[in-house]
Structure 1
Amino acid sequence: MDMDFQGQKLVVIGGASGMGRAVASGVLARGASVVVLGRAGTKLDDATAELAKSGPATSIAVDLADQAQVDEASKRLAGEHEDATLLVNAAGFYLPKPFLDHDRADYDAYHDINRALFFLTQTVVRGMVAGGRGGAIVNIGSMWAHQAIAATPSTAYSMAKAGLHALTHNLAIELAGDGIRVNAVAPAVTATPLFEKVFPQDQLEESLRGLGALHPLGRAGTPQEVADAIVFLLSPASSWTTGAILNVDGGVMAGRN
């Protein structure tokens, strides 16, 4: 199976932790260089320094909710990393909240991320097309974009992730002629830092164990398990796959316990 990324450059938007960081690590180990985008701070700095121990890794600090920062990050990507051939859109957050409790700020927080991902992806794709080497993009969508779970009301989140799934399908068609493949993964409950904001720290392990019972495989997933699927979709091993939404969900979409 061809999983070599020698001579390629990966951009990971949301790569300072969780699935994005695991993907960056896996691709670095296979010969690529990596550019990590994330919110400025110790987490981004520490992640970049740790990744750099395994290969060429740099970072661009950006708050995806700040349009001026997104524009600046886009300029840097275009000027410094126009040779990128791989992209992972991993940024996101998740706070379950009943529909009637949502306010405009809650809604905007999810869709600001989609807007940023849309235009940052546009920048990276321009470089891929100009370079003429093709490329691969993987978006991290969600099981919640496929179906609702009563225990985790997620209207705005699900709506935003469904939009990312739709972007995946449309870009797969538009970019196929340029040799650029576009796929997505749709994880179910995964033990990432994202859930640390959902449950109190002293209840996190027990809560994830309870949600794990929803999955036919009997547990929540790990960031590495999702990252392995993403690395496959980025790699030449999936060279005839585009427009796919791959369920990496412990069997939830097949049927729940």
Structure 2
Amino acid sequence: MKLSNAGTVMIIGGSSGMGFATAKTLLELGLNVEILANNAEKLDKAVSELSGLGQVIGTQIDLYDIDAVQALASKITASSTHYAYLVNAAGYFSPLAFVEHSLADYNQYHDLNKATFLLTQAVVKNMQKAGSGSIVNIGSMWAKQAIKATPSSAYSMAKAGLHAFTQHLAMELADDKIRVNAVSPAVVKTPIYGSFIAPEDIDSTLNSFNAFHPIGRVGEPNDIANSIVFLLSDDASWITGSILDVDGGVMAGRN
């Protein structure tokens, strides 16, 4: 795949899962990468693992700390670093019945969108200086379809908002030669499920969803990373505003 823009890739939520897999692929393609994450220990470990592949730096940020987010946004806007690519990969997921949601549960999702909005705005201003850029957001199948086994009303609202955000930015930023797309995964083996599944049970629990996907298996982080890199690349130069289903066929139908 060809990624011709000179500059750095920012991956928000890049220390694990789909964000980490994307960082690895982009480094292997020769790009410089900056990953943002909250957990300092996980961030240091990720940077250490990735550093053998190319130039990578880590930035610790609590996306729920609005003052820290605004401070980082100001720094990005003023930075001499050119962020040619942005991947919004930060996420949180913990299924809960609608009537059991507290305000704090709701805010877990929507405060994350607030941080995504502000940091994306800062990166876009940075991209506008260079006259081009490419952005990919990680949305979700749950934004398009309700699954009774995983009640996710607040999560789905947030991800549906991210899908809409993608399309609106694609329209607004087309004249700036900034493309904006999203991927919409189904069940993918990532640490995000650790919020409600014991670590030792994650593989077996997720594998129970294999038959849910017409292709016959749940996704791996690289399945999503490959699609993200394609959408970032020049190979997708005529694609913007797309919400790409990378879901093992779930949106096509059921076995």
TM-score with structure 1 setting the length: 0.96
Percent identity of the aligned residues? 49
1:138 to 136, 139, 145: 136
Residue 76 of structure 1, CA deviation: 2.9
Q: Give the aligned partner of residue 212 of structure 1.
A: 210
User: Whole-Å Cα distance in 2 between the matches of residues 130 and 183 of structure 1?
Assistant: 20
State how 1:73-152 maps to structure 2 within 5 Å: 73-80=72-79, 82-132=81-131, 134-152=132-150
- SS of 1:16's equivalent? coil
Runs of 4+ in 1 over 4 A off after TM superposition: none
Residue 240 of structure 1, CA deviation: 0.3
Residue 82 of structure 1, CA deviation: 4.2
Q: Give the aligned partner of residue 242 of structure 1.
A: 240
State how 1:47-58 maps to structure 2 within 5 Å: 47-58=46-57
Higher alpha-carbon deviation: 115-124 or 209-218: 209-218
Q: Give the aligned partner of residue 67 of structure 1.
A: 66
1:158 to 153, 156, 159: 156
- Preserved CA contact (<8 Å) 1:141 1:186: yes
- SS of 1:63's equivalent? coil
Residue 74 of structure 1, CA deviation: 1.4
Q: CA RMSD in A?
A: 1.3
Matched, 1:193 2:191: yes
Q: Give the aligned partner of residue 28 of structure 1.
A: 27
- SS of 1:93's equivalent? coil
| Aligned length, in residue pairs | 255
- SS of 2:158's equivalent? helix
Higher alpha-carbon deviation: 76-85 or 25-34: 76-85
- Preserved CA contact (<8 Å) 1:37 1:62: yes
User: Whole-Å Cα distance in 2 between the matches of residues 156 and 21 of structure 1?
Assistant: 25
TM-score with structure 2 setting the length: 0.96
Q: Structure 1: 5+ residue runs without aligned partners?
A: none
Q: 1:256 to 1:97 in 2, by over 3 A?
A: same
Q: Structure 2: 5+ residue runs without aligned partners?
A: none
1:172 to 167, 170, 173: 170
User: Whole-Å Cα distance in 2 between the matches of residues 203 and 100 of structure 1?
Assistant: 27
Residue 62 of structure 1, CA deviation: 0.5
Deviations 1:94-139 (A, max 9, x none): 000000010000001100000000010000000111122x110000
